């Protein structure tokens, strides 16, 4: 059985405070995009995990796909051994949610393939054990997210008339470092209010708090956003805690754009 985990972008991201449990309180809009990876389940006598495509740091046991399997195995001992294969395509440390999507989609794949009969809310509960962004990929639709990012409210937001140019500058941003650079404070205007405005108005008000510290450390990255706007993007921003930037263009109006050969560019 095969699944195709997709990435996401953040439309705005504000870090509004620090919780009593030490996690940061955030406010953002998660929006799914068509940049996809591949996960396949293959029968096996013993649990195996294989990765192709982009190289992944850390041990196999630390990967969210493997962790998803073992979390379910703990509660469903009859879950059979499998060979779990991941073809990695979404860059890591880019703010595009590839790893979170892999973990969430693995939960869904196991649930569907082995008839575990878990509800959406139960899957969200398991996904929250994997990471703050993982519950979003269970719903996988535009959501206004608060809390650690796990409190999700689906919203009506249709950007199907636009395309996304995503630029990954091959810089890995540590999420822990990125949060350490911020001084959390309540926003002057909530993202959910800003997003209801026409997309042409987002440029002035829709901000990502991580953009400033990331571009301060890597000044050359600010040029990516400038190039996206020069090419006609209606809105451009960093995604998540970085380092990928994206531009939103009207479909059919995307001019040729040339970035540094050291960067990876995706159009979805």
pLDDT of 81 reads: 97
- 21 in active site: no
Q: What residues does each domain of the chain span?
A: 2-154, 162-267
- Reported confidence tier of residue 35, pLDDT bands at 50, 70, 90: very high
Indicate if the pLDDT at residue 59 is higher than 80.
no
User: For residue 261, is it left (φ>0), alpha (ψ between -120 and 50) or beta?
Assistant: alpha
Q: Is 134 exposed, middle or buried (0-12, 13-18, 19+ CB in 10 A)?
A: buried
* Region 99-113 average pLDDT: 97
- 8 in active site: yes
Check residue 141 and report its DSSP letter: S
pLDDT of 134 reads: 96
pLDDT digits (tens, 9 = 90+) for 216-261: 999 999 999 999 999 999 999 999 998 999 999 999 888 888 888 8
Indicate whether this model's pTM tops 0.75: yes
Indicate if the pLDDT at residue 51 is higher than 90.
yes
196 alpha-carbon distance from chain centroid: 22
Percent of the chain, pLDDT > 70? 100
pLDDT digits (tens, 9 = 90+) for 179-197: 999 989 888 899 999 999 9
Q: For residue 90, which of 58, 133, 127, 56 has the smallest C-alpha distance?
A: 56
pLDDT of 262 reads: 84
* Region 135-139 average pLDDT: 97
CATH assignment, 2-154:
3.30.230.10
Fold that domain 162-267 belongs to in CATH: Alpha-Beta Plaits (3.30.70)
Pairing of strands 48-53, 82-88: parallel
pLDDT of 185 reads: 87
Q: For residue 68, which of 102, 98, 93, 91 has the smallest C-alpha distance?
A: 102
Q: What average pLDDT does the structure give for the chain?
A: 94
pLDDT digits (tens, 9 = 90+) for 198-210: 999 999 999 999 9
What residue has token string 């040339």? 258
* Region 6-35 average pLDDT: 93
pLDDT of 38 reads: 98
Annotated active-site residue in 102, 133, 207, 225: 133
């Amino acid at each position: 059985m095969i699944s195709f985990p997709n990435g996401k972008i953040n439309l705005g991201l504000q870090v509004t405070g620090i919780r009593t449990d030490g996690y940061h309180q955030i406010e953002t809009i998660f929006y799914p995009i068509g940049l996809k990876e591949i996960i396949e389940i293959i029968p096996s006598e013993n649990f195996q995990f294989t990765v192709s495509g982009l190289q992944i740091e850390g041990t196999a046991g630390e990967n969210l796909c493997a962790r998803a399997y073992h979390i379910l195995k703990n509660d469903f001992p009859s879950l059979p051994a499998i060979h779990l294969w991941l073809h990695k395509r979404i860059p890591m440390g880019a703010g595009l949610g590839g790893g979170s999507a892999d973990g969430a989609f693995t939960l869904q794949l196991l649930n569907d393939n082995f008839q575990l009969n878990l509800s959406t809310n139960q899957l969200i509960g398991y996904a929250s054990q994997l990471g703050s962004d993982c519950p979003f990929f269970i719903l996988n639709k535009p959501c206004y997210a608060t809390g650690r990012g796990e409190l999700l409210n689906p919203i009506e937001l249709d950007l199907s008339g636009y395309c996304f140019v995503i630029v990954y500058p091959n810089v890995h941003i540590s999420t822990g470092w990125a949060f350490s650079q911020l001084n959390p404070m309540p926003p002057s205007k909530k993202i959910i209010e800003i997003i209801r405005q026409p997309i042409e108005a987002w440029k002035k008000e829709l901000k990502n708090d991580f953009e400033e510290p990331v571009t301060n450390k890597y000044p050359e990255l600010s040029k990516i956003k400038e190039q996206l706007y020069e090419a006609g993007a209606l809105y451009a921003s960093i995604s998540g805690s970085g380092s990928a930037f994206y531009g939103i263009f009207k479909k059919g109006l995307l001019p040729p754009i040339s970035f540094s050969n050291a960067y990876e560019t995706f159009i979805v």
